[in-house]
Structures are given as C-alpha cells and as structure tokens.
Structure 1
C-alpha cells in the first residue's frame, strides 16, 4: 500500500508533459491569432492605402499628360468597394463621341478613336456624390487593374460617349475600394468620364440593388438584367453601367448603377 501524499516520478513527468502541451498549444493559438490579425490589417488597411495612393498618382499623371484638368472636376478623394466580378482582358470596340449636350453622336466627333491597350489607364471617372476620382483602365483583371484601385472597363462594351453601354467594374472593399459607397448614388447624380480629348457627363437613372454574379445582361448594349428582367432598358441609347459586389465583404452577388449620357464637350 502506497503512503499518502507521495508523488512518484512518473506522475511528475506526466504533469510536466501536460503543462508543456498546454503551453505549446497556447503559443500556437497566439501565433495564429497574430498572423490572422496581420492579414486582416493588410487586407483592410494596407491594400486600401497603397491602391488609393497609386490611383491618385495615376490620375495626376493623366492630367499632366493631357494638360490642364477639366473645369469643375472634384478633388481626388477615397471612395470605397470590394470585389467587382470576373476577370477580363483584351481590347474593346473603339469609339469617340460628338454632338451637343443631350444630343450625343457616335460619329467620332472627338477627332480620334479610343483604343486603349490591355490594362492601360486611359480615362478618369469622377462621381461628386462619392467624392470619387479614379483612373479607368482597360479590362477587369484583378491583378492588373482592380487591385490597383482602378475602375476596369469590361471587354466588349462600348467606350465613353459611344452608342451602347460603357460598362465598368470596381472593388467595393479592399484595394482602394472605389465603389464602396455605390449604393449612395441616387437618380439625377452625375458621373463624369474624362479622356484625352473629351469630357462626358452621364446622369444616374436606375439602380439594380442585387443580382447574380453571372447576370451578363446588365452590361449588354441595351442593359437589362436576365435574372430580374424588370430592371433595365428596352431601347438603344448611350448608357454607363457601374458594377460591384454586394453585400459588403462578399462576392456572392452584384449590384449595378445605370446612367445615360447627357452632355459631352471637348477638353
């Protein structure tokens, strides 16, 4: 019979091993927590900081290249948004625009055709309601366009001022999130697109709050949702479409804001 109160070496070793295991597990959990925290900080703060600064520098570079900024342009500022849908590349139909305000023409009145290279920033999108001013680049690749804080032009859609649909995508969260506050747009708000040769003004007309990420109807020449057909248009026109992910911090669905071309003037 063992004497009471005596702890044998085997028991001590088991207790020590148990304490070491608990301590090691705690260290692993703390390390994992720190790594996850750093990843969150990188995604939600660092990528926004870097992308916004890069986008602002690109806007300034385009303005220097074009000359004096267009009168009435808003001051550069941060907008907000994650995840535009899809990835794309290549060139789109070329185009220009002409005509007086309210009577746009697709005859190439700007004296040249817009034919941007893949991932080239070639225009500036301004939305006063959102204090937003960002570059527009060709294609909607995340790595080459959207993650730089730019807004991307969908392959196969029209260029600014052309008859049809000038369709764009932008992140709603992280990487500059230019379209974070897209739901704040209301009918009658203005959207300006500046190129080397002209300034195009679109007026917000309709909003599709939520649709499938595969709803390609929203960027067709006559935009109309194939998932929710009551949203969209039935007649040809001069449209702009802004798309982003919804709800925030997900990429499950898309939302779209549509506008119509209401003015054009040379730079």
Structure 2
C-alpha cells in the first residue's frame, strides 16, 4: 500500500520543529551555565567591593559593626597566598545573600580573635568564589582577619585540602572541633584556643561534601 504523500511534509515539519526545540534548549542550557559560572561571579565581586568599601567607611567613622546592604559586617579577610588584592568582607549568617557578597560567619560561633572557633563559609565556584583556591593553601599559611580595631593573624594547622567531610558534619564549627574519625584532621583538643575554620564545597561542581581548613591564632596587631 502506497504511503500518503501528504503526510511527508507534515513529518518533515515535525522533525524540523523538534530540532529547533532541541537547539533552543541547548542554547538555554549553555546560557544558564555561563551565567552560573561567570555571571554570578562578576555580580558577586562587585558586591564584595561595595561591601568592603562600606565597611572601611564605617571604620573610618569609628564604628566597629557596619550595616551593609547585604547584612551586618565587622571583619575583612586577607589571605596573602591568594594575592595582595585579596580582601573579602565577612557578613553575619550564611544566607544566600550573605554568601553572594563574601564570607558568611556561622551564627553562634566565636567572634574574630575570641576564644572558640571563628567559623566561616564561602563559595568555591560561582558567586565570587572566595575559596576557589583553598586546596592551594599550605600548613602555616596566614589568614588575616581585619576588624575596626585589631587585625588577627591565624596560621593554618594543615593543608587546605587535607580534610573533606559530608555537609552534615556539624562538628567542624564546634568551639574545639573534635573529628569523630580518629586520626583525622582536627585542631589540638584543648580548651581556651582561638581558632578559625574555613568551609567550602569539596569539588568545583555540585557535591554533598565540604572541604575544611582549620587555623589557630598566632598574633594580633592594631588595624592600620
């Protein structure tokens, strides 16, 4: 039985439409990935600069706690290994808004320079990616925490990529983090310490694990 010639154009049109839909879907996906990888970082770096300027202006007028459009802030982070221009604001809390403009300070953890654990979260990719190069840090590298009055200098107690844990591992933000995996990376198990913890994604793309780096206070000086 011969095929109805009238159905051939319809089939070609259907295939053509399906092809167009697939192409548009691919373009849309590429656009989304480009925005996530580059667009959000561009926007976040601009936010980091605005928040940093606001904090410095507040310090200049004698305030130690400064209200920015992204939340309350009282510190800036410098990591010399990441370059002379690396200066990232610390916002209170770990909301998307805070992490989109700098580091987020885990609520309930220690203040800069205080006894306990000054615990911070930061993106490794997208949204300014302040901890993209965390694996490049080495034991003894400095993390400088600037406040309106003092600058606290912490030194890493291990390499930046020594410890990877599930995102549910809340012990890493405890006042003295105690690794349940005995023999794993952890600070000295003694009270009265002044610690810092950096947390970020273990991989550059989606992962349920977190990379953790611990440091301890080694000195403090007036903030110039």
Q: If the TM-score is normalised by the length of the shorter chain, which range does it land in?
A: 0.7 to 0.9
Contact 2:156 2:214 survives alignment (8 Å): yes
Residue 53 of structure 1 and its aligned partner are, at CA, apart by 1.3
The TM-score, its normalising length taken from structure 2, stands at: 0.88
Return closer, same or farther for 1:114/1:230 CA change in 2, 3 Å cut-off.
farther
Q: Is 1:54 matched up with 2:47?
A: yes
Determine if the alignment matches structure 1 residue 193 to structure 2 residue 149.
no
Where relative contact order (Cα < 8 A, 6+ residues apart) is larger, the structure is 1
Give the CA deviation at 1:228: 5.7
Structure 2 counterpart of 1:239, from 195, 205, 210: 195
1:206 aligns with 2:158: yes
Q: Normalising by structure 1, report the TM-score.
A: 0.74
Query: Shift in Å at residue 67 of structure 1?
Result: 3.0
Residue 223 of structure 1 is aligned with which of 152, 177, 188? 177
After TM superposition, give the deviation of residue 15 of structure 1 in Å.
0.8
Q: Determine whether 1:130 maps to 2:82.
A: yes
Cα 1:54–1:114 change in 2 (3 A) is: closer
Q: After TM superposition, give the deviation of residue 42 of structure 1 in Å.
A: 0.8
Runs of 4+ in 1 over 4 A off after TM superposition: 112-118
Distance 2:205 2:129 in 1: 11
- Note if contact 2:125-2:204 (Cα within 8 Å) is conserved in structure 1: yes
Q: What do residues 171-198 of structure 1 show as CA deviations (whole Å, max 9, x unaligned)?
A: 0110101111111110111111111121
Q: Is the 8 A contact 2:173 2:197 kept in 1?
A: yes
Aligned partner of 2:123 in structure 1 is 171
- Shift of the alpha carbon at 1:113? 8.8
Tell me the equivalent position of 1:73. Answer: none
Per the alignment, residue 56 of structure 2 pairs with 63
- For residues 178 and 64 of structure 2, the distance between their equivalents in structure 1, rounded to whole angstroms, comes to 27
Find the structure with the greater CA-based Rg.
1
| Structure-2 residue corresponding to 1:255 | 211
User: Of 136, 139, 154, which residue of structure 1 is paired with 2:93?
Assistant: 139
- What is the match of residue 82 of structure 1? none
Q: SS in structure 2 opposite 1:12?
A: coil
**Secondary structure, in 3 states, of the residue corresponding to 1:159?**
coil
Show structure 1 runs of 5+ residues with no match.
3-7, 69-111
Alignment RMSD: 2.4
Match of 2:33 among 31, 34, 40: 40
How many Å separate the matches in 1 of 2:116 and 2:147? Answer: 18
Deviation, structure 1 residue 115: 10
